[in-house]
Amino acid sequence: MSGVLPDSELRALIADGAITADLPITDAQIQPASLDLRLGAQAWRLRASFLPGKGRGVRERLSDFEMHRMDLSNGAVLEKGCVYLVPLMERLRLPRGLSAVANAKSSTGRLDLLTRLITDDGTEFDRLPDGYDGPLYAEICPRSFSVLVRPGMRLNQLRLRRGQAVLDDAALCVLHAETPLVGGEALIDQGLGFSVDLRPGDGDLVGYRARPHSGVIDLDRIGAYDPREFWDALHSTDGRLILDPGAFYILVSRESVAIPADYAAEMAPYLAMVGEFRVHYAGFFDPGFGIGPSGQGARGVLEVRCHEAPFALEHGQVVGRLVYEKMAGRPERLYGQDIASNYQGQGLKLAKQFSGSGG
């Protein structure tokens, strides 16, 4: 059956040797519709981001871009504004008919930690062709904060597909009628539209802006950092927020969304024409997201970067969309119900490394 592979099929691929690793793959890496990828023991500082290109390997191109090699074994700091390449522990030997797409994990995106997958013969980031056979690499560029990393850390994840099963707008309307994907009216236009909430019902806190000169964040320390040392809290009483060029923001969607058990979704940017900003799409949404005991849905956290000119963002402005895709089978475990899920039932929330609202 076509669609995104569920956890049971990921385990079968591991057992068959289609997915291998330097260290045994753990059950904690296997999500309902994706596999977490782990950093290896070394990194290269690069003078520029690159793609190897057709017919060329990543290591073959390293001599053109490497500055120095780093040992991550005892932990190493990846500095803000620099580009690094890290071989991943996992390797693929995909059967014909299977392709893959990668994305940053939720906490990675909320730290503005640009993490993209690179492969041999690669001509684009985060996309693996049908039947890919080869190693995997993470390109990491900390944008707002320097971070301390170690081998085994999981910054990005891989979603495997058999064929294509993306829902068009007609199919999405039918699904929404059967199982409401969002409270109230759904904006369906090349996916399920997301708008920004700048008029919260419980006060005037609307988001956070990354502070430009902060300390190092150890990614293994959960709930350890005071948000005030890294973020400026943003307030609004008129439903408007003016974005500063080059600044990074954490905001939240107005809508609460749900991902039924037989579907997966991915956050995509809306339209470049809507303004001088971009909503990052560090966003795989797993089956079961937003479906709890009360079934009320969960809001999407928006990672926003303003570009060349200041931009006035208005309450209810559409800034992103969720693209839904059928699963090839129902997962054995669902997000937020059968596994630990840091962001189930979330509202405005920082990455898990921060205390209080970021916990």
State the Cα–Cα distance between residues 219 and 46, nearest whole angstrom: 21
pTM as predicted: 0.92
Splitting the chain (359 residues) into consecutive groups of 10 residues, what average pLDDT does each group show? 96 97 96 97 97 95 95 97 98 96 92 95 94 97 97 97 94 94 88 91 91 96 96 95 94 91 85 60 81 68 87 90 94 74 64 74
CB-CB neighbours of 82 under 10 Å: 15
Instruction: Give the residue ranges of DSSP H helices in 69-142.
Output: 106-110
Mean pLDDT, the chain, rounded, equals 90
pLDDT tens per residue across span 108-126: 999 999 999 999 999 999 9
State the Cα–Cα distance between residues 25 and 144, nearest whole angstrom: 31
Give residue 95's Cα distance to chain centre. Answer: 25
Residue 126 corresponds to which tokens in the numbers above? 């985060």
Check residue 166 and report its DSSP letter. Answer: B
For residues 298 and 226, the answer to whether their CB atoms sit within 8 Å is no
Helix (H/G/I), strand (E/B), else coil: 79: coil
State the Cα–Cα distance between residues 83 and 85, nearest whole angstrom: 7
State the Cα–Cα distance between residues 33 and 329, nearest whole angstrom: 10
**pLDDT value, residue 343:** 45
Q: Which domains does the chain have, with CATH numbers?
A: 3-162 (2.70.40.10), 169-358 (2.70.40.10)
pLDDT tens per residue across span 184-231: 789 998 899 889 999 988 888 999 999 999 999 999 999 999 999 999
